[in-house]
Amino acid sequence: MKRNKNKLTIGIICGGPSEERGISLNSARSVLDHLHGDGVEVVPFYLDYKARPYKLKRSQMYSNTPSDFDFKLHNSAVSLSKKEFINELKELDIVLPVLHGTYGEDGTIQQLLEKNNIPYIGSSSLSCRRAFDKYSARSELANNGFVTISAIVLEKKDTTHSKIINTFHRKVSAPRYIVKPARGGSSIGVYSVTTKKEILNAAQNIFDANLDSRVIVEPFIEGTEFTLSILENKYGLPVALIPTEIETSYANNEVFDYRKKYLPTNAARHHTPPRFSKDVIDSIRTQGEHIFALLEMSSFARFDGWVLSDGTVVFTDLNPFNGMEQNSFMFQQGARIGMSHADMLHVLLRVACAKYGLTYPYRKKSLAVEGKNVPVLFGGSTSERQVSVMSGTNAWLKLR
């Protein structure tokens, strides 16, 4: 029996064992803010760092950091066994996993839901596995005619890392290399290095931190970085949104790191639409849609890549889950075509409902109105300026 026959009930699963728990919590709060209501009841669940499930009240979702959240967890949430967790999910109409990284994007949670015949929003476990491992996904792209760059993978259990690195260095001589987990995200554990010794040390650091047992080494790409969100439409076809150009400095071995992605900073700017030619933008969108179809993905995805100096498009990171925090690229790109946060989420929900034969709670799309300039003031000189920047960004995106 469903919880509320007058509403569509959606389970949000967040947290998880990866280093990206904080981003997952932010995504879950954003979904809760914009999806609950309008005939939809959101029921949150949390997985701790050992993937142990808890049932939460919506009001409990708003603790600040993951450590603060975990500190309160045992007193404020209901601990569930795996069987109880499955039974709770089966009472709902549909589930939206908002787990970033390992367990959430590698097909693990999807396989659990599939095994128990629980409807969910997102790609299948098989598609997630194909996309999540950056090295395997790159090989599949290359085999299907997409442009890729040379790379090697180092396995933690292997004892010949130095030999593999030396061979690769002779074959692909570059002034700079990127070393990163093969199955990670949010730029956690990404190193920019210049020497063979630094490559070896960076790989060992990733292994020692248990970020991954597989590490990719690739030459640093000279070009302009971009990110692209893709949604599935009601016909089951992928539709690429307007890509975003990332403007940031790569001097002194800098990369587009975690801080530049998720924290207030002047070190990165986003351009939507990007400052590329129409042909390049069309190429990004078309290739992105083809990759989405090739990997048989569903609902949504986010692909990252580079535009080289000659206009060549290279996709490097395929993310089965598109971040949904308030200032995520998906919402930024949706805003450029007149869609609010809620509009975007309801597109995903409506398509998933049709897929599983569920009754979608009709919601009228936001109506476009004549634009007006509204200044949003934030920042200041107090110690609370970071909070102000986040609030200002949220207000700007919603007004936009």
Domain containing residue 190: CATH number: 3.30.1490.20
- Residues 86, 97, single domain; the answer is yes
Q: Is residue 130 part of a domain?
A: no
Give the number of other Cβ atoms within 10 Å of residue 38's Cβ.
Answer: 14
At residue 132, φ and ψ (nearest 5 deg) are -70, -40
CA distance 157 to 142: 26
The CA-CA-CA angle for residues 142, 305, 260, to 5°, reads: 150
| Strand 40-47 to 8-15 pairing | parallel
**Cβ atoms of 323 and 27 closer than 8 Å:** yes
Taking only the tens of pLDDT, the chain with its 400 residues reads 445 567 899 999 998 888 788 888 889 988 998 998 878 999 999 998 889 999 988 888 876 566 667 777 777 788 999 999 999 999 999 999 999 888 989 999 999 999 999 999 999 999 999 999 999 999 999 999 999 999 999 999 988 999 999 999 999 888 889 899 888 765 678 888 889 999 999 999 999 988 888 999 999 888 999 999 999 999 999 999 999 998 887 666 565 544 544 455 566 788 999 999 999 999 999 999 999 999 999 999 999 999 999 999 999 999 998 888 887 889 989 988 888 889 999 999 999 999 999 998 876 655 555 677 888 888 888 877 767 776 777 677 666 6
Tell me the residue ranges of DSSP E strands in 3-108.
8-15, 40-47, 53-55, 78-79, 94-97
SS3 43: strand
- We report the CATH number of the domain holding residue 116 as 3.40.50.20
- Residues 176, 101, single domain; the answer is no
Which residues are CB-contacts of 242 (< 8 A; sequence separation ≥ 6)?
Answer: 272, 273, 274, 281, 333, 336, 337
| Strand 313-319 to 300-308 pairing | antiparallel
User: Domain end: 219, 244, 260, which one?
Assistant: 219
CA distance 153 to 350: 40
Q: What share of the chain is helix, strand, coil (3-state, %, to 5)?
A: 40, 20, 40
CA distance 18 to 291: 26
Q: Is residue 128 part of a domain?
A: no
- Residues 240, 336, single domain; the answer is yes
- Residues 54, 113, single domain; the answer is yes
Q: Residue 382's domain spans which residues?
A: 371-400
- Residues 328, 248, single domain; the answer is yes
Give the number of other Cβ atoms within 10 Å of residue 143's Cβ.
Answer: 9
CA distance 69 to 80: 17
- Residues 158, 273, single domain; the answer is no
- Residues 301, 387, single domain; the answer is no
- Residues 154, 205, single domain; the answer is yes
- Residues 348, 243, single domain; the answer is yes
* Eight-class DSSP state of 157: T
Per the structure, how many domains does the chain have? 4
pLDDT of res. 84? 97
pLDDT of res. 253? 59
pLDDT of res. 2? 47
- Residues 324, 272, single domain; the answer is yes
- Residues 174, 299, single domain; the answer is no
User: pTM for the whole thing?
Assistant: 0.84
Give the number of other Cβ atoms within 10 Å of residue 376's Cβ.
Answer: 14
- Residues 75, 106, single domain; the answer is yes
SS3 330: helix
Give which of 73, 35, 68 is closest to 57, Cα–Cα.
Answer: 73
